[in-house]
Amino acid sequence: MAKVTATEERFGSGQGRCSAAIGAVLILSFGLLKSVSAVPQPATANPPPTLQETGLYADFAALQVDPAHLAFAPQYPLWSDGAAKRRWISLPPGTAIDGSDPDAWIFPVGTRFWKEFSFNGQRVETRYLERRADGQWLYAAYAWSPAGREAQLVPVRGKRGAYPLAGGRSHMIPGVTDCKACHQGGPSEILGFSTLQLSPERDPGALHAELQPAPGLDLRYLVDTGLLVGLPQALLDAPPRIAAATATERSALGYMHGNCGHCHNERGSLQNIGLVLRHSVKTAGEPAIASTVGQFVKKPAPGQSPNAVLRVEPGHPERSGLMQRVSSRYPALQMPPLGTELIDDEAVSLLYRWIAEKGASSQQAHVNKEGE
């Protein structure tokens, strides 16, 4: 305090010194502000150390989920080496999701999501997302003990060997950077809770489809209960669905929407690749067809066969780049590049059938044209 007083006295001794001091302080302030902005900012908050503390359960001992949370199932689920999944959303009381942009819903601060992964009936991990007061999403994953009685926070770099899979491989709980690699790859960080995923017009042929849990959460339910506002009425009058020539094509495009579109979309940082596998409810046509069928592979991945010239070559799935990527689990070649250790054989069959049928329909169209 004495030091402050002495400083005041010195400044008070002359107007010129005061001016100089003010100028110097201003310069220093700008300098400091400038240097502060260059320092990486720490995470906004630390996740709770246990799943129990995130508030998922009303009675953790009985593993009874809080009935205030809403269970849901997207129509085109992400495949994670065959894990069975359960999902819940929690909105703060009195709040609602803003659906004005139907391709990028805005969730209120305090929104929480949980996704539980089980293999062979054993809970292995539960992932957690929470929207913080600063608007950022908090990412966390909790690993269940083998007995399934407790779930502890996983280190930020993830956890290998979380559950044994076929072929000597094992399920890995991804680290936070890998979570963000997918979740921050498009217009919204929430991937499975969206206009198309919750459309009442569900695809009966969707791969790995799950039964809708009670209360049957979909667009209509969300709007009727006031949990979703601003959604264009047209999307309620005519619920969105993927426009496809055949049922196979609808399922194939839906699978790619749910498993590839979070990175390969028109608004994320990979947009310069020109591969759009995410369905948009705002635009006509299917960019997943326009950006794959007959389109050249831009830069072959390590291990990719040189005969895969096109992303999708109608009638020739075996030499389509897309098939080579999804049929591989060689790390440099595989697609998706993370979150999966095993080839999704059912997806490979579906996409193979789609590309083969695409060739047959192209040939038929050619014959019809010649016959005119």
Partner 1 sequence: MRRALPLMSMIALLVPGIVLAQDSSPGVQVKRGEYLVTITGCHDCHTPWITGSGGPEPDMKRALSGHPQDLAITAPATVSPPWGGAMTPSSTGWSGPWGVSFSANLTPDPETGVLRDFTEQQFIQTMRTGRHQGQGRQILPPMPWPNYGQMTDDDLKAVFAYLRQIPPVRNKVPDPIPPKQ
Give residues in contact with partner 1 (CB under 8 A): 14-16, 18-20, 22-24, 26-27, 30-31, 34, 38-40, 177-178, 180-182, 185, 263, 269-270, 272-273, 298-299, 301-303, 330-334, 337-338
Region label for 197, one of left (φ > 0), alpha (ψ between -120 and 50) or beta (otherwise)? alpha
Least Å distance between CB 16 and partner 1?
Answer: 3
> Measured between alpha carbons, how far is 293 from 301 in angstroms, rounded to an integer?
18
DSSP string, 22-42: HHHHHHHHHHHHHHHHTSPPP
Least Å distance between CB 41 and partner 1?
Answer: 10
| Smaller CB separation from partner 1, 124 or 172 | 172
Least Å distance between CB 184 and partner 1?
Answer: 8
> Measured between alpha carbons, how far is 159 from 143 in angstroms, rounded to an integer?
8
| Smaller CB separation from partner 1, 268 or 287 | 268
Which value, in Å, is the radius of gyration of the alpha carbons in the chain? 26
> Measured between alpha carbons, how far is 276 from 149 in angstroms, rounded to an integer?
42
* Bridging pattern class, strands 70-72 and 84-90: antiparallel
| Smaller CB separation from partner 1, 3 or 299 | 299
Least Å distance between CB 141 and partner 1?
Answer: 16
> Measured between alpha carbons, how far is 237 from 116 in angstroms, rounded to an integer?
33
Least Å distance between CB 30 and partner 1?
Answer: 4
| Smaller CB separation from partner 1, 10 or 282 | 10
| Smaller CB separation from partner 1, 82 or 274 | 274
| Cβ atoms < 10 Å from Cβ of 364 | 10
- Are the C-beta atoms of 333 and 303 separated by less than 8 Å? yes
| Smaller CB separation from partner 1, 109 or 273 | 273
Least Å distance between CB 177 and partner 1?
Answer: 5
| Coil/strand/helix, residue 43 | coil
